[in-house]
Amino acid sequence: MEETTIREPEQICQGCTKKLLKVVRGPKLRAVLGYFVREVWTTPWIADLRLTSEGGIVARIEGEKDFRVDLGGRKGLIRSVHSIATKAALDGDELGYLLAQVAKIKREELL
């Protein structure tokens, strides 16, 4: 019987990074995924993400005070993560890591 190695979250994150960098081209998705793996993949880069009351995702860019960049909806981001996971040949742990990052996006009531 083959022994299964349990990876730490940091190892899973590193696995995502190596695979994603090879296939992610679009600047918005590249910025979001870079944020999820805690790396700067674009300039300017995303400093924080928030979920609006309508289910949209907005970004605060490095050096700015307000959340101004509309990234679409949460459902669309989840579809994009699944799609890029297939292209990048992410394993189940890596896909789960990215989806957990989507789930961690904090809700903020924007005025």
pLDDT in tens, the chain (111 residues): 566 788 999 999 999 999 999 999 899 999 999 999 999 999 999 999 999 888 899 999 999 999 999 999 999 999 999 999 999 999 999 999 999 999 999 876 544
Distance CA 62, CA 85 (A): 26
Please give the pLDDT value at position 4. Answer: 75
Please tell me whether residue 16 adopts helix, strand or coil conformation: helix
How does DSSP assign 57-87, residue by residue? EEEEETT-SS--EEEEEHHHHHHHHHHHHHH
The answer to whether the pTM exceeds 0.75 is yes
Q: In terms of DSSP bridges, do strands 56-61 and 69-73 run parallel, antiparallel, or are they unpaired? A: antiparallel
Report the pLDDT value the prediction gives residue 1, as an integer from 0 to 100.
56
